[in-house]
Amino acid sequence: MKILSAEQTKEWDRLTTENQKISSWDLMERAVKKLTENMLNDFAPIQSPIVIFCGKGNNGGDGLGVARYLNSQGFDPIVYLLHSEKYSEDNLKNQRLLKEADVRYFKPDDQVEIPEKAFIIDAIFGTGLSNPLDNQWALFFEQIYQANPQSIIAVDLPSGFIADYPMNKRFPCLKVQRTYTFQVPKIGLLLPDNQTYSDSLSLIDIGLDKSVLNQFKTNFYFLEKKDIQKRLKTPSCFSHKGTFGHALIVGGSLGKIGSIVLSAKAALKTGSGLVTSYTPKCGQDILQVNLIESMCLTDETNDLIKNFPLLQDYQGVAIGMGLGQTAETEINFIEWIKKQAQPLVIDADALNILAKQTNPFLIIPKESILTPHPKELQRLIGNWENDFDKIKMVKDLALQYQITFVIKGFYSVITTSDGKVYFNSTGNWGMATAGSGDTLSGIIASLKGQGYQSVDAALIGVYLHGLAGDLAIKKIHPHSLTASDISDYISEAYFNLENL
């Protein structure tokens, strides 16, 4: 799914009305109906008083339309409408049709009455906002937020939020529990910098004309199930274990062998024909007992890896999990990686060792996949001003050095060697647990071993990892989710992807 700018989305609306021969009012009605249905379903039963704050433009028109639909469902919402000398045409039409609701006018410096435990809908400002609001809005938003922080939803965007540019914490913006955004996600809502503005995000398909999407150029995409389904291969009935590749998992040190167990287990569950782990001698018994389906090779030393393996027998290689950063390991790893041409999945301590080099990207094999968490990324590329800046830096590096980055987190970001940026749509906060990243590295290494190109291995791997976590928390509370649980649900994730 393409991620479009606010201007592109506005033009998409216009082209839809033109091609489908409908009015902007018809499109608003379609959006309002879908929004109301989703909201009533997600928060059923709504028994609290409903308060809707509406602006003067079409976002406010959406809010007024929601009030009308709620009236028809037997609700009696209170509507606060921003006082203005100029409303949009569709906003005015909704005002005329909204005869039975309790409509009150407000200005941003007003004190408003909000019933206790009200369910609040924010439709004051939408995607049309391109500059920060005046500071007077800060106090107004605060009184809305304090009325009931756990029950505020936003229509398209939280009021005060600027979709396509970095937000500053000084900018007045309403914090909401959930944002219902139309058709495609707005990039700003996917960035960690802005996590305080909206706790969750729901996409609503309002039937915009997909035939015109090719007109809109973008490098940003939101991964959907269908994007992964079209990339997955269908195995032949004549396949054998060699068909599914041999994955090599390199890492571990005294006290950190578990990371290799997790990574190797994930590779097996993802479908590798063969999995071999390369660890210090201290890891052999642990691996052989915990993963009887895998093989194990050991370094000559007991506690750390000193001599790194030859790769010619392996099609997918992940390295770095639990590796440690002793001087011996560092020196030998750098000498080893300088000689490699095969793409690698590079994680954890391997990234930390590389970060100590003047320019680590010069010695990383092309088409390698780097899987840093934010702190590891900072060590690799230096500081950034904001998340937009971070993504640009990583995007440029991926393009320049022909590598793929996976920046782990909620809405994990994948930047590819062809200059594209993907945001993952699967995963949950329960996956922020020890070993989750090791599991991801094993998944991606397995996919590389199965013959997937680096970009596809990264995209499928990140989505599959998150989907397994999402399926797991249907039976395991997020607080109790472990990395092993994620691997155990990879099979369920595959079944899910087979369903249209």
What confidence category does residue 489 fall into, taking pLDDT thresholds of 50, 70 and 90?
A: very high
Residue 380 among known ligand-binding residues: no
Residue 128 among known ligand-binding residues: yes
Q: What is the pLDDT of residue 99?
A: 78
Q: What is the pLDDT of residue 404?
A: 99
How crowded is residue 64: how many other Cβ atoms within 10 Å of its Cβ? Answer: 28
Average pLDDT over residues 476-493: 99
E strands along 398-485, which residues? 404-407, 413-415, 421-423
How crowded is residue 478: how many other Cβ atoms within 10 Å of its Cβ? Answer: 14
Distance CA 62, CA 486 (A): 40
Average pLDDT over residues 70-80: 94
Q: Are 444 and 409 in contact (CB under 8 A)?
A: no
Q: Is the pLDDT of residue 310 over 80?
A: yes
Distance CA 379, CA 356 (A): 8
CA nearest neighbour of 231 among 459, 470, 495, 490 = 459
pTM: 0.95
Residue 90 among known ligand-binding residues: no
Q: What is the pLDDT of residue 223?
A: 98
Q: Is the peptide bond before 45 cis (omega within 30 degrees of 0)?
A: yes
Euclidean distance between the first and final Cα of the chain, in Å? 17
Residue 5 among known ligand-binding residues: no
> Helix (H, G, I), strand (E, B), or coil: what is residue 142?
helix
Distance CA 398, CA 369 (A): 10
Q: Is the pLDDT of residue 100 over 80?
A: no
Residue 130 among known ligand-binding residues: yes
In tens, the pLDDT along 224-242 reads 999 999 999 999 999 999 9
Q: Are 336 and 367 in contact (CB under 8 A)?
A: no
Q: What is the pLDDT of residue 145?
A: 97
Distance CA 224, CA 235 (A): 22
Q: Are 178 and 138 in contact (CB under 8 A)?
A: no
Question: And the tokens for 270?
Answer: 């993802």
Average pLDDT over residues 391-397: 98
Per-residue DSSP letter, 308: P
Residue 469 among known ligand-binding residues: no
Residue 131 among known ligand-binding residues: yes
Q: Are 199 and 176 in contact (CB under 8 A)?
A: yes
Residue 418 among known ligand-binding residues: no
In tens, the pLDDT along 339-381 reads 999 999 999 999 999 999 999 999 999 999 999 999 999 999 9
CA nearest neighbour of 49 among 13, 12, 97, 101 = 101
Distance CA 207, CA 425 (A): 20
Residue type, 346: I
Residue 16 among known ligand-binding residues: no
In tens, the pLDDT along 170-187 reads 899 999 999 999 999 999
Average pLDDT over residues 386-396: 97
Q: Which residues contact 394 (CB under 8 A, 6 or more apart)?
A: 377, 381, 405, 407, 413, 415
In tens, the pLDDT along 184-224 reads 999 999 999 999 999 999 999 999 999 999 999 999 999 99
Q: Is the pLDDT of residue 165 over 90?
A: no
Distance CA 413, CA 420 (A): 10
Residue 420 among known ligand-binding residues: no
> Helix (H, G, I), strand (E, B), or coil: what is residue 82?
strand
What confidence category does residue 129 fall into, taking pLDDT thresholds of 50, 70 and 90?
A: confident
Residue 235 among known ligand-binding residues: no
Residue 156 among known ligand-binding residues: yes
Q: Is the pLDDT of residue 401 over 80?
A: yes
Q: Which domains does the chain have, with CATH numbers?
A: 6-217 (3.40.50.10260), 225-498 (3.40.1190.20)
Averaged confidence pLDDT in the chain: 96
Residue 283 among known ligand-binding residues: no
Residue 356 among known ligand-binding residues: no
Q: Is the pLDDT of residue 152 over 80?
A: yes
Residue 410 among known ligand-binding residues: yes
